[in-house]
Amino acid sequence: RKEVEQDPGPFNVPEGATVAFNCTYSNSASQSFFWYRQDCRKEPKLLMSVYSSGNEDGRFTAQLNRASQYISLLIRDSKLSDSATYLCVVPLMFSGGYNKLIFGAGTRLAVHP
């Protein structure tokens, strides 16, 4: 099983739609999770952190199910500017005190008028 697996996409949705992405992880010891957004030919940027059961920030909601080792990202009222690749990221803590980030392959979202 891959360390982080995501829906392959692409998701093509009209403006205003609600869309959800799924992500599963293999390391049951992982405590925190991230969703990053990456635009074409750009670096990833942090969208949301998830430490407990979930997190909400405006139109974006992330949910965590530890029992199923599953994370989701819900985007409501999609905007054209939401078109990007969404990366599910699971950090692995090392003894040196830093996190090594494991990236999912990403889910591509295309919002059309």
Partner 1 sequence: GAVVSQHPSRVICKSGTSVKIECRSLDFQATTMFWYRQFPKKSLMLMATSNEGSKATYEQGVEKDKFLINHASLTLSTLTVTSAHPEDSSFYICSATAGGEQFFGPGTRLTVL
CA distances from 77 to 12, 31, 80, 99 (A): 14, 29, 10, 33
Nearer to partner 1 (CB atom), residue 18 or residue 26: 26
We find the least distance from the C-beta atom of residue 92 to partner 1, in angstroms, to be 10
Nearer to partner 1 (CB atom), residue 60 or residue 103: 103
What's phi and psi for 39, nearest 5 deg? -85, 160
We find the least distance from the C-beta atom of residue 60 to partner 1, in angstroms, to be 17
User: Which residues make up the interface to partner 1 (CB under 8 A)?
Assistant: 41-46, 87, 96, 98-106
Nearer to partner 1 (CB atom), residue 94 or residue 113: 94
The half-sphere exposure of 48 on its side-chain side, counting CA atoms within 13 A, is: 22
We find the least distance from the C-beta atom of residue 65 to partner 1, in angstroms, to be 22
Instruction: Confirm if 3 and 69 have CB atoms less than 8 A apart.
Output: no
